[in-house]
Amino acid sequence: MSNPSVSRVVRSRFGVLPDGSDVERVVLRHPEGLEASIITYGASLQALLVPDAAAQRDDIVLGHDAFEGYLARRQFFGATVGRYANRIAGARFTLDGAEVQLAANNGANALHGGLEGFDRRNWRIASVDGGEHPAVTLTYTSPDGEEGYPGKLDVEVTWRLSGPMELLLDMTARTDRPTVVNLTNHSFFNLSGARSGRQILDHHLIVAADHFLAIDAGAIPLPQPPSEVAGTPFDFREGLEVGARIRDDHPQLRVGRGYDHNFCLAPASGEPRFAARLAEPTSGRVLELFTNQPGLQVYSGNFLDGTTGGKGGRLYRQSDAICLEPHAWPNTPNRPDFPTARLDPGEVYRHTTSYCFTHAVHGPIQGAIGTQSEVEFPERSGR
């Protein structure tokens, strides 16, 4: 039974920016399930408490206990990323015959929105819903020309506990000029717990993708069609531990220093469909991810190098977390053969991702989850 005395939404100050403006935190609670903390800085998922198989809750996303950590160093922990998540080659593209020059912040390329992307903006809380499905909606208006992108862009992000064990993310955007838009959330997951000290190499991963994008040394997709995952370390269709083949001598694992690649999902239909499943054997936590996006970037925390102190005073090191980032394919504005990221006036960009948590409570994790041949990819679960 739910406890009616437990507040489903708590709003408070989390920190202060150098200009004196407040950074707020909104905590969404379900008395029988999840607790999600959202901060206005970057519209970020600052904490996500998830019960394990023994009903013990633990925070399973990397980040910082205090705001100063987010301000001190840009690492995208839990952040909303835009205008364009991932990379655009040469920090430029052509739109309607005109060259658009972006801010280059990753060598010669543009990464995650540029020098000061959406992750570095203090979003405004537009509404808070304390009802049966607690939610917070945040907004940000990106002016025409910000980081080089054309058109004013009005963005709205809603985080909602749509069930006891489901966190729903809805993002919309509207423009007054033709532009490109590609938003994602950049949470770093460790289902053992952010303070556990355990790596994610034993996490069992399924990705519903037959192809992935091979990349060059700058993490730009190579000028070729998507590569088949079959016969490579990138084949997660039937499920595999993240670390099972991460040390294989494969050229794409060398260039990415592990997994840092876009997996090509089934053609988008507008509705979320199964994209990935992540499970951790000790806690029994299972995350199923559903999205309406065409790609899923899988990043195995390759560049966490022990120079950042995180929650509980822990230093974050390689393979301490995994990112599952649904979004458009990287460098799409320069690749007419990729699914488009164009947005025109009068249209609405929509990104929906659902994080559904369950437990594997019967036997080893592989047996509980099964493989693609044993269990069909579900349409939706976790409500």
pLDDT, residue 360, reads 78
Active-site option among 30, 64, 112, 186: 186
Which residues 6+ apart lie within 8 Å of 246 measured at CB? 201, 233, 253, 258, 259, 300, 319
Best CA proximity match to 203, nearest among 138, 260, 286: 286
Q: Alpha-carbon distance 332 to 264, whole Å?
A: 13
Which residues 6+ apart lie within 8 Å of 126 measured at CB? 137, 138, 139, 156
pLDDT, residue 270, reads 82
79-81 vs 87-88, strand pairing mode: unpaired
Entry pTM: 0.92
Reported as a single tens digit per residue, the pLDDT across 291-340 is 999 999 999 999 999 898 999 999 999 999 999 999 999 999 999 999 99
Active site residue 359: no
Q: Alpha-carbon distance 279 to 314, whole Å?
A: 23
pLDDT, residue 184, reads 98
Tell me whether residue 73 is exposed, middle or buried, using C-beta atoms within 10 angstroms of its C-beta: 0 to 12, 13 to 18, 19 or more: exposed
Residue 250 pLDDT > 70, yes or no?
Answer: yes
Write down the residue that tokens 């060598």 correspond to.
107
Distance (Å) of CA 2 to CA 16, 30, 33, 163: 35, 8, 10, 13
Q: Which domains does the chain have, with CATH numbers?
A: 9-369 (2.70.98.10)
Q: Alpha-carbon distance 310 to 62, whole Å?
A: 7
Active site residue 261: no
Residue 365 pLDDT > 60, yes or no?
Answer: no
Tell me whether residue 383 is exposed, middle or buried, using C-beta atoms within 10 angstroms of its C-beta: 0 to 12, 13 to 18, 19 or more: exposed
Q: Alpha-carbon distance 135 to 129, whole Å?
A: 5
Reported as a single tens digit per residue, the pLDDT across 21-51 is 999 999 999 988 999 999 999 999 999 999 9
Best CA proximity match to 276, nearest among 296, 253, 301: 296
Name the band, by pLDDT with cuts 50, 70 and 90, for residue 380.
very low
Active-site option among 280, 325, 351, 359: 325
Q: What is the largest CA-CA distance in the chain?
A: 60
Reported as a single tens digit per residue, the pLDDT across 115-147 is 999 999 999 999 999 999 999 999 999 999 999
Write down the residue that tokens 């770093």 correspond to.
188
Q: Percentage of the chain surpassing pLDDT 90?
A: 88
